[in-house]
């Protein structure tokens, strides 16, 4: 259990909950607690899917600038990889993940949100990468993951200007997946995550591994990875259960074991 970040598990859904008043600033302690919570969620067989949530007021307004302000090049050079990898631990959770975004998800906050598979955002939320306003660039995925989400042109505009992007534009250009009333964000995220409780856990992992792995290379390499993962699932109980249920009862009625 961390001081500011915890994994809460209920009904098959794990919630990585950030709670560092006032704005969930991501200092080094929070970064490492995020890493620990992500590893715990990955290892916990009771967790089918994960919600990352900052509370009703704010997701995460970014890195802790007071902590970073006095750091030297040598100090940040020694820390930068750990900053990036602490958030990447969320991207590496081998289960469906969703960011439930209220208030602001800026800088490191939106970099954390982009580590999730999808993003559900409040209709009054603001997202963006304002690091340029500090004379720096994003250091935990804000150039790389954003370009993969929205394309290089939008990513450059958002990173060049540092502007805050409202929910409607974020949805239109692909930064987020769904916009809902602010009071419904967490419930909508849990509803999405809840679809996977009792699902074919190994096949869900394979989907994530195929999509994420394929993005790291060319199409042919991605297709080979997909073929390998596809064939491997024929060694699982869920494949037998799913296909037998389809033949006997039609689609969508299988009772999977996650094995």
Residue 229, in any domain of the structure:
yes
Tell me phi and psi for residue 213, to 5 degrees. -65, -40
pLDDT of 2 reads 93
Are 76 and 153 members of one domain? yes
Confirm whether 259 is domain-assigned.
no
Question: What is the spatial order of strands in the sheet that 178-180 belongs to?
Answer: 5-10, 13-18, 49-53, 97-101, 118-122, 178-180
In a domain, 254, yes or no: no
Query: Of the candidates 179, 194, 209, which is a domain's last residue?
Result: 194
Which of 194, 217, 235 marks a domain boundary?
194
Residues 108 and 222 in one domain: no
Give the pLDDT band of residue 104 (cuts 50, 70, 90): very high
C-alpha to C-alpha distance for 15 and 54, rounded to whole angstroms:
10
Confidence label for 95 from pLDDT (cuts 50, 70 and 90): very high
Least confident of 36-45, 64-73, 184-193: 64-73
The pLDDT score that the predictor gives to residue 59 is 98
Average pLDDT in the 66-78 region?
A: 91
**Same domain, yes or no: 225 and 209:** yes
Residue 172 confidence class, pLDDT cut points 50, 70, 90: very high
Shared domain for 159 and 87, answered yes or no, is: yes
Say whether both 22 and 119 belong to one domain: yes
- What CA–CA distances, in Å, run from 175 to 101, 115, 124, 165, 211? 12, 12, 15, 9, 17
- Structural domain includes residue 257: no
Query: Which is more confidently placed, 216 or 189?
Result: 189
Provide, rounded to the nearest whole percent, the portion of the chain with pLDDT above 90.
Answer: 94
Residue 140: pLDDT over 90: yes
Residue 115 falls inside a structural domain: yes
Mean predicted lDDT score pLDDT of the chain: 96
Query: Which CATH number does the domain housing residue 68 bear?
Result: 3.90.226.10
Same domain, 59 and 182: yes
Both structure tokens of 248:
């006997």
Both 104 and 223 in one domain: the answer is no
- The answer to whether position 213 is within a domain reads yes
214 and 168 within one domain: no
- Binning the chain into helix, strand and coil, the percentages to the nearest 5 are 50, 15, 30
Q: The domain containing residue 207 runs over which residues?
A: 201-249
Contact of 14 with 8, CB cutoff 8 Å: yes
Residues β-bridged to residue 196: none
Please report, for the domain that includes residue 236, its CATH number: 1.10.12
Do 105 and 217 have their domain in common?
A: no
For residues 161 and 240, membership in a common domain is answered with no
Any domain includes 83: yes
Residues 79 and 57 reside in one and the same domain: yes
Q: How far apart are CA 199 and CA 203, in angstroms?
A: 9
pLDDT attached to residue 1: 80
> Which among 165, 149, 159, 150 has a CA at the least distance from the CA of 105?
165
- Establish if 258 belongs to a structural domain: no
Q: Which residues contact 189 (CB under 8 A, 6 or more apart)?
A: 51, 53, 98, 99, 100, 120
The 3-state secondary structure of 101-144, one letter per residue: ECCEEECHHHHHHHCCCEEEEECCCEEECHHHHHCCCCCCCCCH
Give residue 216's pLDDT: 87
The whole-angstrom separation of Cα 22 and Cα 70 is: 21
Claim to verify: residue 183 and residue 205 sit in the same structural domain: no
Q: Looking at the annotation, which residues are catalytic?
A: 111, 131
Q: Quote the CA–CA distance of 90 and 38 in Å, as a whole number.
A: 5
| Dist. CA 166–CA 103, nearest whole Å | 10
Q: Is the separation of the CB atoms in 75 and 30 below 8 Å?
A: no
Q: At which of 176, 194, 212 does a domain end?
A: 194
- Number of structural domains in the chain: 2
């Amino acid at each position: 259990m961390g001081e500011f970040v915890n994994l809460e598990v209920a009904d098959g859904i794990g919630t990585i909950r950030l709670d560092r008043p006032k704005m969930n600033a991501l200092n080094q302690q929070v970064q490492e607690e995020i890493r620990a919570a992500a590893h715990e969620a990955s290892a916990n067989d009771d967790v089918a899917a994960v919600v990352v949530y900052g509370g009703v007021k704010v997701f995460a307004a970014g890195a802790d600038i007071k902590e970073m302000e006095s750091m030297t090049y040598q100090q940040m050079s020694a820390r930068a990889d750990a900053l990036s990898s602490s958030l990447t631990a969320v991207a590496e959770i081998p289960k469906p993940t969703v960011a439930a975004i209220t208030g602001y998800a800026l800088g490191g906050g939106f970099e954390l949100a982009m580590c999730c598979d999808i993003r559900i955002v409040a209709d009054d939320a603001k997202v963006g990468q304002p690091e340029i306003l500090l004379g720096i660039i994003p250091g935990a995925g804000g150039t790389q993951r954003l370009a993969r989400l929205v394309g290089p042109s939008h990513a450059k505009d958002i990173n060049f200007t540092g502007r805050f992007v409202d929910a409607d534009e974020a949805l239109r250009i692909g930064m987020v997946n769904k916009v809902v009333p602010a009071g419904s964000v967490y419930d909508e995220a849990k509803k999405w995550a809840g679809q996977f409780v009792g699902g074919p856990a190994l096949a869900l992992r394979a989907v994530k591994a195929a999509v994420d792995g394929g993005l790291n290379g060319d199409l042919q390499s991605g297709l080979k990875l997909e073929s390998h993962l596809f064939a491997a699932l024929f060694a699982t109980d869920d494949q037998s259960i799913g296909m037998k249920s389809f033949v006997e009862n039609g689609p969508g009625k299988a009772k999977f074991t996650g094995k």
